[in-house]
Amino acid sequence: MPQDHFFTMSGPADILLNDPPGPTRTRRINLIKRHRTKQLLDVRFQTHAIRDVLACRMVTTQLIYRKHL
């Protein structure tokens, strides 16, 4: 069975779908949503960090290049 990573952290999505409605299911859904949001934020922060490093390198390279002209 293919994994659906949007809805689950580790198991197949049908575990969640076959859960009877109630507090346990709601709690699990909220945990999954929170985990998903955290993953997306982590990716965004990594992207910003990489972009900042690249920008610093570019500026440094330009300064060195200008100095040698």
- Indicate the domain borders of the chain: 23-68
- The 3 state secondary structure assigned to the chain is CCCCCCCCCCCCCHHHHCCCCCHHHHHHHHHHHHHHHHHHHHHHHHHHHHHHHHHHHHHHHHHHHHHHC
Separation of alpha carbons 4 and 43, rounded Å: 19
Decide which of 60 and 9 is more confident: 60
**Is residue 58's pLDDT more than 60?**
yes
Tens of pLDDT, residue by residue over 12-41, are 455 556 667 777 777 877 887 888 788 777
**Is residue 49's pLDDT more than 50?**
yes
